[in-house]
Amino acid sequence: MNNHYPVHKSEEEWRSLLTKEEYRVLRQQGTEYPHTGAYNAHYEDGTYNCKGCNQPLYSSESKFDSGCGWPSYDQSIEGAIEYRKDSSLGMVRIEIVCSNCGGHQGHVFDDGPTVSGKRYCVNSASISFEPKKEV
């Protein structure tokens, strides 16, 4: 994994901070099974943050039900995501990672139903949720 991120930890540190599933997804580019993640059908107001470093990544306003089995967003918070070409599994996709720690989030596709045309397909294991603060 690249070391140019502001948050950098050894693999031992990551293992001690994350559950086995979170580590597998965030640090080893794993994918959780569809329809199993805590945030797939989650629609409260707030922000979805990187599980590795707590950087805000997605607003609940950009979340939609894509029916794909993973949390889906039509955009990320500006500057929060880095994009990488992923040629694994015999296809070309665009991997999305946290720009602060390099944690794998999932992939982005050009088949979203909103004006952006994007579908950020994210693993629940790679995010946490921060409810909107009432004023």
Cite the active site residues: 121
Q: How far apart are CA 77 and CA 100, in angstroms?
A: 12
CA 46 to each of CA 33, 36, 62, 85, 96: distance values in angstroms, whole numbers, following the listed order? 24, 21, 10, 29, 21
CB 57 within 8 A of CB 42: no
Report which residue type is found at 86. D
